[in-house]
Structure 1
Amino acid sequence: MKKSKIETRMITLMGLLIAMMVILSRFIAIETQFLKVSVTFIPESLMGILFGPFWTGIGSAIADVIGMLLFSKAPYFPGFTLNAFITGAIYGFFYYKKELTWKRIFMATFLVTVIVHFFLTPLWLGLMYGVDITNIIWWIPRIVKNTIFFPIQVVATYYLGNKIPYKKMLGKIMPSLK
């Protein structure tokens, strides 16, 4: 059985994608206490395409912890690190060594939206801040944000995965990713 081996160049690339996730999450995001709009799905999806579910989950969790340590905006809560791991693992599961079809991207985005954005995040916010998550007023901004952002994320991921020749460029730099 062949073991998965991570090379120095792969670690470097993952480090760059983690740094990009931290920057996009902490500086180029619209964030309130209860809602966040960010494009971290771009480097996270690319990480999923290149590294698979386990390493993408680990990389996403590392990005969350580094972001909290360096640029904290709220108290650290491990549930959000779990969210990051699950999100990365879902992208890696659906994208790694697979053709990026509309259906595959839709399913990955749908699962992240339902599991992370509509189930786990409200649960963590309820635990952290004592918010009554059964109140419909609390859900309206979350539903609107995800309804608008869902198709944008699906289209952007499809374009990223199928229209940008990153595989050819990376193949020259890192032949082991072919």
Structure 2
Amino acid sequence: MTKKKFGTKSIALMGVLIAVVVVFSRFFAYETTFLKISFTFIPESLIGMIFGPFWAGIGTAVADVVGMLLFPKAGYFPGFTLNAFLAGAIYGYFYYKKEMTWQRVILATLLVTVLINIILTPLWLSLMYGVNLANFAWWVPRLIKTVIFFPIQVIATYYLGNKIPFKRLFGKPLSELDQ
């Protein structure tokens, strides 16, 4: 088994993608106390495609902490950093060095949506703000967002993974950037 070389180019690319996650999360997002709509899945998916599950999880968790330190919107809660790590790890598991099929993209998006957006985030919000999760009215905006955003996320991720000419942009696949 060979270890993946993590050289200067990879570190620089990871830093740029972390910065993009922070910008998408903090400046190009609609956010209320209980609901957030953003396109952070785009750079998070890219990190997963390029770096694999472990480093994608680390990168997205670092992006969450950096975003919170530089542009705080509320008190820090480690559950959201765990969410970021899990999302990056899931994207890395499903996308790293693998063909981007509709099935793979739908499964990854479904897992992130169910585990993070529907299970963990409401749990963290209930711990932070005392939200009654049995109140159906609280779930309506979250479920509407999920129904509308899910196909957008699937289509955008599939397009990103299949249509952007990574080999032409960098001269080799991104997974071999430092080799």
Q: Normalising TM by the smaller chain, what interval?
A: over 0.9
Partner of residue 134, structure 1: 134
Where relative contact order (Cα < 8 A, 6+ residues apart) is larger, the structure is 2
C-alpha displacement of 1:173: 9.3
Partner of residue 149, structure 2: 149
Which whole-Å CA distance do the structure 2 matches of 1:173 and 1:95 have between them?
A: 13
Closer, same or farther: CA 5–118 of 1 in aligned 2, 3 Å: same
Q: Which whole-Å deviations, capped at 9, do the CAs of 1:26-66 have from their partners, x for residues lacking one?
A: 00000000000000011111111110000000000000000
Which whole-Å CA distance do the structure 2 matches of 1:173 and 1:117 have between them?
A: 31
Closer, same or farther: CA 168–11 of 1 in aligned 2, 3 Å: same
Pairing 1:10-49 to 2, within 5 Å after superposition: 10-49=10-49
RMSD: 1.5
Letter of the aligned partner of 1:124 in structure 2? W
Aligned partners of 1:100 and 1:162 also within 8 Å: yes
Provide structure 2 residue ranges, at least 5 long, that are not aligned to the other structure.
none
**Helix, strand or coil for the counterpart of 2:99?**
coil
Aligned partners of 2:48 and 2:93 also within 8 Å: yes
Task: After superposing the two structures, state which structure 1 stretch, 166-175 or 76-85, moved more.
Answer: 166-175
Aligned partners of 2:166 and 2:172 also within 8 Å: no
Aligned partners of 1:22 and 1:66 also within 8 Å: yes
Partner of residue 165, structure 2: 165
**Helix, strand or coil for the counterpart of 1:37?**
strand
Partner of residue 118, structure 2: 118
Which whole-Å CA distance do the structure 1 matches of 2:138 and 2:171 have between them?
A: 46
Give the count of matched residue pairs.
178
C-alpha displacement of 1:166: 2.0
Aligned partners of 2:166 and 2:173 also within 8 Å: no
Partner of residue 53, structure 1: 53
TM-score (norm 2): 0.96
Closer, same or farther: CA 175–30 of 1 in aligned 2, 3 Å: closer
Which whole-Å CA distance do the structure 2 matches of 1:73 and 1:126 have between them?
A: 18
Which whole-Å CA distance do the structure 1 matches of 2:123 and 2:175 have between them?
A: 42
Which whole-Å CA distance do the structure 2 matches of 1:3 and 1:94 have between them?
A: 19
TM-score (norm 1): 0.96
C-alpha displacement of 1:114: 0.3
Partner of residue 102, structure 2: 102
Q: Which whole-Å deviations, capped at 9, do the CAs of 1:108-144 have from their partners, x for residues lacking one?
A: 0000000000000000000000110111000000000
C-alpha displacement of 1:2: 1.5
